[in-house]
Amino acid sequence: MGGVLLTVHDTEPGAATVARLAREMLDADPAGTPGVRAVAERLGVSTAHLVRAFARCYGIPPHRYLVGRRLDLARRRLLAGEAAAQVAVDSGFYDQAHLTRHFTRCSPPHRRATSGAAGRPAR
């Protein structure tokens, strides 16, 4: 019986394509990107597919990448002397406390913990 084997193909784009397009979108406007779900919708894929594809290609989830891009943007503006509260909001964070919390999480431990008034790194 010489039947034809039919296969069901996934209608979502391949992982590498999804990850690349998502990264381009996140890089284009990190502060204005509303979130991973919105990126997935714009790409026409599920959020789960986007997260798996991005993590597989780049080694980190897309939300962590987006937060990192926002922190880079905020860091540059803070170093330029802009007010922290305004930098936080303009960089895509809810407020200055939200920005500070993410800075603290992403800073190396030796820069976070200090001992005494001298400000030396804790051991």
The CATH number linked to 93 is: 1.10.10.60
Residue 54's domain comprises 15-112
CA distance 20 to 71: 21
Specify if 118 maps to a domain. Answer: no
Specify if 70 maps to a domain. Answer: yes
Specify if 5 maps to a domain. Answer: no
pLDDT of residue 103: 82
Mean pLDDT score across all residues of the chain: 82
Q: How many CB atoms lie within 10 A of CB 30?
A: 20
Specify if 63 maps to a domain. Answer: yes
Specify if 3 maps to a domain. Answer: no
Q: What burial letters (b/e) apply to 68-96, b meaning 16+ CB within 10 Å? A: ebbbebbeebbeeeeeeeebbebbbbeee
Which has more pLDDT, 67 or 13?
67
Specify if 64 maps to a domain. Answer: yes
Burial class (CB in 10 A: 0-12, 13-18, 19+), 57: middle
Average pLDDT over residues 67-82: 93
Tell me 106's DSSP state. Answer: H
SS3 label, residue 120 = strand
Specify if 61 maps to a domain. Answer: yes
Which of 21, 33, 91, 86 has the alpha carbon at shortest distance from 63? Answer: 33
Specify if 97 maps to a domain. Answer: yes
pTM: 0.73
Total number of domains constituting the chain: 1
